[in-house]
């Protein structure tokens, strides 16, 4: 690691990730550690320039107020104390806050703003080579942002020692499996195993209307397919994963209970336990995207909207049928195309189509039809806990409606869902 680093020690503040991001945004690398970091651990960390001790609402654990160890206080690093309950709190106003942090980082700690994606990629290439040696690495490449960036980074570091497995479960968006093959096999010359598991997934999902049951089947079948492919390959020692910093932070710290379990890890059977390679585990999402850009991945892969693991499966409401699933996929492709034409793809957080399991009467070429509706959804949010609805200009809605009713088989009606979260969720199931 060539970069200077500021440590944020967690004394129970919920704003630690925010502070870590704010300092990284100034070009200085940060890492968050538990309050009881030992002197040995501290001295093993490279290029530490200063420490922020940040207390907050969770500072009292089991009736005792936690604090950093004496050794950390006495290690000779500049320390910024903050406790947002008390007088020493960092300002809440963004500009004032930045001023305080900048003064500490640059004037007091004399840190250099040398955290950038080029250095990060260079460092990681070296670290990956050191960790992996001449051994082989396996990666489940979904085509999402995180796994794509991990793949590109590993290809740069170890080339054909990496094998990527892309499982097409039939629930991906139009053109996605093709793009994975084009980018990774054709352009980056990766070892890519493409698994067409469409029939397998859709057969398992037949006649299953319950959303949670559908999710379980998709998740379990994915592990099974991936495991089968892993067994066919010989001499694999490592499993690469697209774990990112929020996954680790959300898995819980010593002061905050887990928000969700870290689902990237685990799932594979005992005899298939590989050593993990997780080169993105210290990056926030926007940094992962910047890393993807640095590695030359296409924008449409790097700046993708969030897409649920069960994919279009939870947008084909109730028991999935192949024809209705195609209606979801085709209408989604039209929505994305028209959003891109209107520039809305750059501003709207998430947008997609849903096809419920109902039919209504329509008329086409003077003939009565009895077909599905397509529901459009377009929402904005910061953390997906609440969401507001995008006010799409009427002319764009009309254009999308016209195209979907003309081009998508089995659809005669289009609706726009104007419900915020709450009361609705973002997805329909």
Q: Among residues 306, 357, 364, 398, which is the contact residue for ligand XMP, using CB under 6 A?
A: 306
266 vs 73, 183, 253, 263, 269, CA distance in Å? Answer: 37, 28, 19, 7, 8
**Residues belonging to the chain:** 429
CA terminus-to-terminus distance, the chain: 44
- How far apart CA 164 and CA 192 sit, in angstroms, is 5
378 binds ligand XMP (CB under 6 A): no
Q: Judged by CB, which is closer to ligand XMP: 200, or 215? A: 215
Q: Judged by CB, which is closer to ligand XMP: 296, or 306? A: 306
425 binds ligand XMP (CB under 6 A): yes
- How far apart CA 335 and CA 354 sit, in angstroms, is 11
155 binds ligand XMP (CB under 6 A): no
421 binds ligand XMP (CB under 6 A): yes
420 binds ligand XMP (CB under 6 A): no
How many CB atoms are located within 10 Å of the residue 403 CB? 17
211 binds ligand XMP (CB under 6 A): no
- How far apart CA 417 and CA 387 sit, in angstroms, is 13
310 binds ligand XMP (CB under 6 A): yes
Question: Quick check: 107 and 207 in contact, CB under 8 A?
Answer: no
362 binds ligand XMP (CB under 6 A): no
304 binds ligand XMP (CB under 6 A): no
Judged by CB under 6 A, which stretch of 127-135, 156-164, 265-273, 420-428 contacts ligand XMP? 420-428
252 vs 21, 82, 241, 263, 281, CA distance in Å? Answer: 18, 21, 19, 13, 15
Integer-rounded Cα Rg, in Å, for the chain is 24
Q: Judged by CB, which is closer to ligand XMP: 27, or 308? A: 308
Residue 395 CB, nearest approach to ligand XMP (Å): 27
Tell me the β-bridge partners of 106.
Answer: none
384 binds ligand XMP (CB under 6 A): yes
Q: Among residues 31, 83, 227, 427, which is the contact residue for ligand XMP, using CB under 6 A?
A: 427
User: Strand locations in 312-429, DSSP E?
Assistant: 350-354, 360-364, 367-380, 388-389, 411-416
Judged by CB under 6 A, which stretch of 43-51, 254-262, 268-276, 306-314 contacts ligand XMP? 306-314
Question: Quick check: 97 and 126 in contact, CB under 8 A?
Answer: no
Q: Judged by CB, which is closer to ligand XMP: 2, or 204? A: 204
Size, binding site for ligand XMP by CB under 6 A: 11
144 binds ligand XMP (CB under 6 A): no
Judged by CB under 6 A, which stretch of 243-251, 264-272, 307-315, 395-403 contacts ligand XMP? 307-315
Binding-site ranges for ligand XMP (CB under 6 A): 215, 306, 308-310, 350, 384, 421, 425-427
């Amino acid at each position: 690691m060539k970069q200077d680093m500021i440590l944020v020690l967690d004394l129970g503040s919920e704003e630690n990730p925010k502070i870590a991001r704010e300092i990284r945004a100034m070009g200085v690398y940060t890492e968050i550690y538990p309050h009881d970091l030992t002197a040995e651990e501290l001295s093993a960390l490279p290029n530490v320039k200063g420490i922020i001790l940040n207390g907050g609402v969770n500072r009292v654990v089991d009736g005792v107020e936690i604090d950093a160890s004496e050794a950390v206080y006495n290690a000779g690093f500049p320390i910024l104390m903050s406790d947002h309950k008390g007088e020493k709190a960092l300002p809440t106003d963004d500009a004032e806050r930045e001023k305080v942090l900048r003064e500490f980082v640059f004037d007091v700690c004399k840190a250099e703003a040398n955290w950038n994606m080029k250095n990060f990629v260079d460092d990681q290439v070296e670290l990956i080579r050191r960790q992996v040696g001449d051994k082989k690495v396996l990666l489940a490449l979904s085509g999402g942002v995180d796994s794509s960036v991990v793949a590109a980074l590993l290809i740069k570091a170890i080339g054909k020692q990496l094998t990527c497995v892309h499982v097409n479960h039939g629930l991906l968006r139009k053109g996605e499996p093709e793009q994975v093959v084009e980018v990774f096999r054709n352009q980056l010359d990766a070892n890519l195993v493409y698994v067409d598991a469409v029939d397998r997934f859709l057969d398992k999902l037949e006649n299953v209307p319950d959303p949670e049951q559908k999710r379980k089947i998709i998740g379990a079948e994915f592990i099974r397919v991936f495991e089968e492919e892993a067994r066919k390959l010989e001499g694999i020692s490592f499993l690469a994963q697209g774990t990112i910093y929020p996954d680790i932070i959300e898995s819980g710290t010593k002061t905050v209970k887990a928000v969700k379990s870290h689902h990237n890890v685990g799932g594979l059977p005992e005899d298939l336990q590989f050593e993990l390679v997780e080169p993105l585990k210290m990056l926030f999402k926007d940094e992962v995207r910047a890393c993807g850009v640095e590695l030359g991945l296409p924008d449409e892969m790097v700046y993708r909207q969030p897409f649920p693991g069960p994919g279009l499966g939870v947008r084909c409401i109730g028991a999935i049928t192949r024809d209705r699933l195609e209606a979801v996929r085709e209408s989604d492709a039209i929505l994305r195309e028209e959003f891109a034409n209107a520039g809305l793809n750059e501003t709207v957080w998430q947008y997609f189509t849903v096809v419920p399991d109902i039919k209504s009467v329509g008329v086409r070429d003077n003939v009565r039809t009895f077909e599905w509706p397509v529901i459009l959804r377009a929402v904005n949010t910061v953390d997906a806990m609440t969401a507001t609805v995008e006010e799409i200009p009427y002319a764009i809605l009309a254009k999308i409606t016209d195209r979907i009713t003309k081009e998508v088989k089995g659809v005669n009606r289009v609706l726009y869902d104007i419900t915020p979260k709450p009361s609705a969720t973002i997805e329909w199931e």
